[in-house]
């Protein structure tokens, strides 16, 4: 799958996109239209030059998680393979 990002303005309620040569032979394409005026991706304000956001929104963990400790291996399976009937 290939992705193509284009910033353009509609004319007469239509948007025309020139496809690169490697996408011209595609049988089906998925097109997603987003408004880029108010906010960029993930609530970020649009940048002046259009490349980088000027003030990215940062998430912070809840204060209730401050005393949380991880005990054991997070990647180890919760049940043994022999106990899991779906593998049989």
| pLDDT per residue as tens, the chain (88 positions) | 778 888 888 899 999 988 888 888 877 888 888 888 755 555 555 555 555 556 777 888 888 888 888 888 888 887 777 777 775 5
Residue 85 has a pLDDT of 73
| C-alpha–C-alpha distance, residues 20 and 5, integer Å | 12
Please tell me the pTM assigned to this model. Answer: 0.36
11 beta partners: 14
pLDDT at 27: 79
**Local structure of 11: helix, strand or coil:** strand
How many Å is the Cα radius of gyration of the chain? 23
Round to whole Å and give the CA distance between 19 and 23: 6
pLDDT at 80: 79
Helices (H), the chain: 21-24
């Amino acid at each position: 799958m290939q992705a193509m990002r284009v910033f353009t303005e509609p004319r007469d309620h239509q948007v025309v996109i020139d496809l690169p040569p490697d996408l011209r032979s595609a049988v089906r394409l998925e097109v997603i239209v987003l408004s880029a005026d108010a906010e960029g991706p993930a609530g970020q304000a649009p940048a002046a030059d259009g490349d980088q956001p000027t003030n990215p929104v940062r998430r912070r963990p809840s204060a209730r998680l401050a005393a949380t400790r991880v005990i054991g291996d997070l990647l180890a399976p919760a049940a043994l393979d022999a106990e899991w009937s779906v593998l049989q």
